[in-house]
Amino acid sequence: MLDRTLPPAYHPITGFDLIKPAHLQFSNGLQAFVFNAGEQDVVRIEWIFANVFAQDEQALLNTCASELLLEGTASYSSKQIAELVDFHGAFLVPEYGYDQSSLTLFSLNKHLSQLLPVVKDILTDAVFPEKELATYIRNNKQKLQVSLKKNSFVARRLFNKTLFGPSRYGSVPDIADYDRISREALLALFKQQYTPSNCTLVVSGKATDEVIAMLEGLFGDSWPAEGGSAPVDTAPAISGTTGLLVVDERKDALQSAIRLGYQSIQRSHPDFPGLQVLNTLLGGYFGSRLMANIREDKGYTYSIGSGLASLKHSAFFTISSEVGVEVTKATMAEIEKEIRRLREEPVEKAELALVKNYLMGTMLGSLENVFSHADKFKNVYFSGLDFEYYDYYTDVVNAITREEILRLANTYLDYENMIKIVVGKYEA
Amino acid sequence: MVTFNRFTLANGLRVLVHEDAATPMAVVNLLYDVGARDEHPEQTGFAHLFEHLMFGGSAHIPNYDAPSQAVGAQNNAFTSNDITNYYITLPASNLETAFWLESDRMLELAFNEKSLEVQRNVVCEEFKQRYLNQPYGDAWLRLRPLAYKVHPYRWATIGKELAHIEQARMEDVKSFFTKHYNPSNAILVVAGRVQTDQVKQLAKKWFGPIPSTNTYERQLPMEPQQQEARREVVQADVPLNSIYIAFHGPARLDEGYYAMDLISDLLSRGPSSRLYRRLVKEEELFSEINAYQTGSLDANLFVIEGKPLPNVAMDTAEEVIWSELDKLKVQQVEPYELDKVKNRIESTMVFAEMAILEKAMNLAYFELIGDADKFNHEVERYLAVSAADIQQQAQQLFRKENSSTLIYIATPHAR
């Protein structure tokens, strides 16, 4: 007779294998990293550029430059670029991040020879036509109006602004800011930022010799390096605020969006993996303390979570949720309580063991295909680290003790000093 | 090409196995043939609420999540108007834990009062977060009952109203479980670094002893053909005017389904698509506009949704949308443009084969609609669609008397 109360034997996950990239440097200085694996005849090619900021660090300009890249070159109109990409069943996606702007091409191998010359043209000769800029500004002002009616969106903006002040990381656009974007400024930024020496190429999928030769032909010799050296990125001056409570009252709100947090440590800090374990315990997975208490016991929210983000010049820890307006204060009190518990009481052995297993299992699961191996590489590469980080991570996760968790909680979790943003109703 | 082996247990549970040794992981995907369309009109939102309760412990396992996380697994589920789908991804060496967990909650739930009370609240907060506390969040709560008068697609998966969820009782939960959560009403797909013999042995061990109970026979009312154009205008505290036009279209297994899906691609997929190019970029009338179909098993809705610019009158916005739709009715699409949307289908299918979870979900879904192997022939179905088929389907879809139009007029401080 089957005993259903007994769980099957557990087989621990002790480590995982990462695909190491081939590293190439093209004659113009461009660094390329190649992950050649996978069954399907598809490839993902990413051109990643470090963001270059003007004195005032208005990130909106960099965002616009990224999002308008595909809107025309001297040889191709916006429509022609769109047709070419769509006709070949490809995806060409510009993306702006805190520290880098990237252009990513997903394509079947058989269409690369049609598509890569267009990408080359875009990265060397984007012209940001006035008409396309006007359309972009008009439509994005409309979209921002809608987003500003979403409490969670507003909470994230207020959080970044409060946390990072007027620096690149705290820069959030207002509707009027769009009117200050000019074609001249975009062209000037484009010239500075989209250069071979400022570019990292990451190729993953069926990255055959043929693909690499094609890339080197287009993005090596024939893409001359600019005369000067790569732009120097000086660390932004961040005026840190702590402990502030910001309430943005919304009369008709049914829920409040809340966001708490402050600046934290970067990936290169020795405590970073340990803090990730602590973050997981607090709010980093479905069974976390915050979910177990605030969702699964109290039913205050559909979801609550915490996270740790490492940036080039800073890092932040954040807790966020959307909760019924009548339980906004109660939720904040429970968050405070859960943080206090982690600082005062050693975590249960079983709970810590569970979180360790969970983290190792999800690490293994996050390496599903060759693209995810490339993503793991980018995480460390852009933090100035290498794959040894993952050995260190594995060692820390496997060895971490209850005492260490207590130390980390007392060092890195401090409710009092967190910035607290509430959009909705605080006194309901 | 997604290869698989298939067998059926004596209690009626269908099992499919997809072996993929390239990953160290395994996926166990369990699809139950029950969705919001199977609900009683006075107890809507129940299939989805029930999905939440499936995580509240089962007969022999008081807590579902902890033992799952303890073996390095990630799990979740979703409910649609048609199906409820549970999935768990875990290191392949711990595959048996997934069988243990999934079989116990198919055998019998714990029916825990506290879990019911908490999940009612959680789902009410989900309702508010997604549908009520967002500009335009209630669009589908309005559009469904406007377009469907009889078929249960007239309510959203989340439910018609908060009250239906607040009133859910334990006896309703129990009878829903008995009615729908049977081995013969489910499809189990196991994919990843697994072997068919191993899966066979585990399936027999854990799911084999679950008794087969009576099978529910679905008898849903058919939506009668719509005879007149319908319209609802809402004054709401939203920042911009917005328009939705919904048309009744073919069901998933109807011949016309593929033509309808390609029409949505022609109109709205990718930056070169018709509505975006013409109405956003060239004529500068909308800030955004999209077309899609609901992908349901029974007769679908084909929807156009857009936000006209502030200087554009709603009448004009509506006229230009219709004029784009009319073009599809009178003029056959050129071979270049038809090839373009077919190429996109082809590449999307290749990308869909890169993740085991996606493959497992697709196998389960296509098995539900007749045969998992159909997934491997989907591209051919799309490639077979001709320009004449597109034109004919457009003529069928885009008729005033087949349309339901929902308009939001931005009115500051309206409730």
Q: Over the stretch A342-390, which tens digit does the pLDDT of each residue have?
A: 999 999 999 999 999 999 999 999 888 899 999 999 999 999 999 999 9
- Among residues B243, B248, B206, B198, the alpha carbon closest in space to that of B226 is found at B248
Do residues B169 and B312 share a domain? no
Task: State residue B90 phi and psi, 5-degree precision.
Answer: -155, 160
Based on the domain organization, do B254 and B160 belong to the same domain?
no
CATH number of A22-221: 3.30.830.10
- Out of B59, B123, B270, name the one closest to residue A82 (CB): B270
For residue B221, is it within any domain? no
B135 and B64, same structural domain?
A: yes
Domain end position, chosen among B208, B243, B267: B208
Q: Do B121 and A300 touch (CB under 8 A)?
A: yes
A 10 A CB-CB count for B50 gives 23
SS3 B79: strand
Q: Is residue B216 part of a domain?
A: no
Cross-chain Cβ contact A362/B25 below 8 Å: no
**Closest CA of chain A from B269, distance in Å:** 9
Per-residue pLDDT tens for A167-179? 999 999 999 999 9
**Ramachandran sector of residue A424 (left: φ over 0; alpha: ψ -120 to 50; beta: rest):** left
Shortest Cα–Cα distance, B209 to chain A (Å): 9
Is the CB of residue B260 less than 8 Å from the CB of residue B302?
yes
Answer yes or no: is B224 within a domain.
no
Question: What is the total residue count of chain A?
Answer: 428
What would the pLDDT profile of A269-309 be if each residue is shown by its tens digit? Answer: 999 999 999 999 999 999 999 999 999 999 999 999 999 99
CA angle centred on A349, ends A347 and A351, rounded to 5°: 70
Question: CA A199, CA A43: separation in Å to the nearest integer?
Answer: 19
State residue A182's pLDDT score.
96
Query: Residue A54 — very low, low, confident or very high, per pLDDT cuts 50/70/90?
Result: confident
Residue B415 clears pLDDT 70, i.e. is over it = no
Give the position of tokens 């267009």: A118
How distant is the Cα of B72 from the closest Cα of chain A, in angstroms?
Answer: 4
SS3 A24: strand
Q: What pLDDT, on a 0 to 100 scale, did the predictor assign at position A227?
A: 63
Q: What is the pLDDT of residue B213?
A: 82
Predicted confidence (pLDDT) per residue in A128-168, tens digit: 999 999 999 999 999 999 999 999 999 999 999 999 988 99
Q: Which amino acid is at A284?
A: G
| pLDDT band of A226, cuts 50, 70, 90 | confident
Q: Do residue B199 and residue B332 come from a single domain?
A: no
- pLDDT at residue B288 greater than cutoff 70: yes
Query: Among the three residues B154, B178, B208, which one is the final residue of a domain in this structure?
Result: B208
Q: Is B91 left (phi over 0), alpha (psi -120 to 50) or beta?
A: beta
Over range B164-191, report the average pLDDT: 94
pLDDT digits (tens, 9 = 90+) for B378-393: 999 999 999 999 999 9
DSSP-based helix, strand, coil % in chain B, nearest 5: 45, 20, 35
Range of the domain at B71: 5-208
Determine what percent of chain B is predicted with pLDDT higher than 90: 94
Nearest to A119 by CA among A104, A101, A97: A104
Which residues 54-83 in chain A show a CB within 8 A of chain B? 70, 78-79, 81-83
Residue of B nearest to A17 (CA): B24
Spatial strand order in the sheet of B230-236: B230-236, B403-410, B242-248, B301-308, B286-293
Instruction: Confirm whether B222 is domain-assigned.
Output: no
pLDDT of B362 strictly over 90: yes
What CATH code is carried by the domain that includes residue B243? 3.30.830.10
Do the interacting molecules here have an ipTM over 0.95?
Answer: no
How many beta-carbon contacts under 8 Å exist across A and B? 209
Cα A115-A117-A122 angle, rounded to 5 deg: 95
Enumerate residues 287 to 316 of chain A having a beta carbon within 8 A of any beta carbon in chain B: 287, 295-302
- A 10 A CB-CB count for B344 gives 23
Q: Which residues of chain B make contact with A70, given a CB cutoff of 8 A?
A: 271
* Dihedral angle over CA of B393, B395, B399, B403, nearest 10: 20
Which B residues, 1 through 40, put their C-beta within 8 Å of a C-beta on chain A?
22-25
Phi, psi of B163 (to 5 degrees): -60, -35
pLDDT (average), residues B174-192: 95
Looking at B163, B178, B208, the residue that finishes a domain is B208
* Alpha carbon of residue A136 to chain centroid: 24
Higher pLDDT pick, B284 / A251: B284
Contact A252 B288 (CB under 8 A): no
CB atoms under 10 Å from CB of B21, counted, come to 10
pLDDT in tens, B207-237: 999 999 877 899 999 999 999 999 999 999 9
Cβ separation of B340 and A369 shorter than 8 Å? Answer: no
Q: Is residue B214 part of a domain?
A: no
Encoding tokens for residue A215? Answer: 């890339």
If we measure between CA atoms, which residue out of B415, B408, B403, B180 comes closest to residue B304? B403
Q: What is the pLDDT of residue A39?
A: 83
Examine residue B201 and state whether it is found in any structural domain, yes or no: yes
How confident is the prediction for chain B on average, in pLDDT? Answer: 95
Quick one: B374 and B282 in the same domain?
A: yes
Do B123 and B41 have their domain in common? yes
Q: Give the distance from residue B222's alpha carbon to the nearest chain A alpha carbon, in angstroms.
A: 34
DSSP run (H or E) holding B257? helix B257-268
Within this chain, do residues B155 and B237 fall inside the same structural domain, yes or no?
A: no
In this prediction, residue B412 carries a pLDDT of 81
Alpha helical stretches, state H, A34-128: 59-67, 78-87, 112-125
User: Does residue B236 share a domain with residue B185?
Assistant: no
State which CATH number among 1.10.10.10, 3.30.830.10, 3.10.20.30, 3.40.50.2300 fits the domain covering A245-424. Answer: 3.30.830.10
pLDDT for the residue A230: 61
Which residue shows structure tokens 């008709």?
Answer: A252
State residue B203's pLDDT score. Answer: 98
Distances (CA, A) of A324 to A296, A328, B198, B296: 15, 6, 47, 32
Tell me, yes or no, whether B28 and B113 share the same domain.
yes
- Determine the distance in angstroms separating the CA of B223 from the nearest CA of chain A, rounded to an integer: 33
Q: Looking at the structure, do residues B127 and B159 belong to the same domain, yes or no?
A: yes
Q: Which residues pair with A201 in a beta bridge?
A: A32, A47
- Mean pLDDT, rounded, for A90-101: 97
Confidence of residue B269 (pLDDT cuts 50, 70, 90): very high
Indicate the burial class of A292 (C-beta count within 10 angstroms; 0-12, 13-18, 19 or more).
Answer: middle
- Tell me whether B166 touches chain A (CB under 8 Å): no
Q: Taking a C-beta distance cutoff of 8 angstroms, is the pair B339, A83 a contact?
A: no
pTM, to two decimals:
0.94
Whether residue B24 is found in the same domain as residue B106: yes
Split into its structural domains, chain B has a count of: 2
Residues B157 and B33 in one domain: yes
Exposed e or buried b for every residue in A106-130, given b needs 16+ CB within 10 A?
A: bbbbebbeebbbbbbbbbbebbbbe
78-137 of B, contacting A, C-beta below 8 A: 89-91, 93-94, 96-97, 99-100, 103-104, 107, 117-123, 125-126, 128-129, 132-136
Q: How much is the pLDDT for B216?
A: 87
- The tens digit of pLDDT for each residue in B243-263 reads 999 999 999 999 999 999 999
CATH 3.30.830.10 in chain A, residue ranges: 22-221, 245-424
Contacts of A348 (CB under 8 A, 6+ apart): none
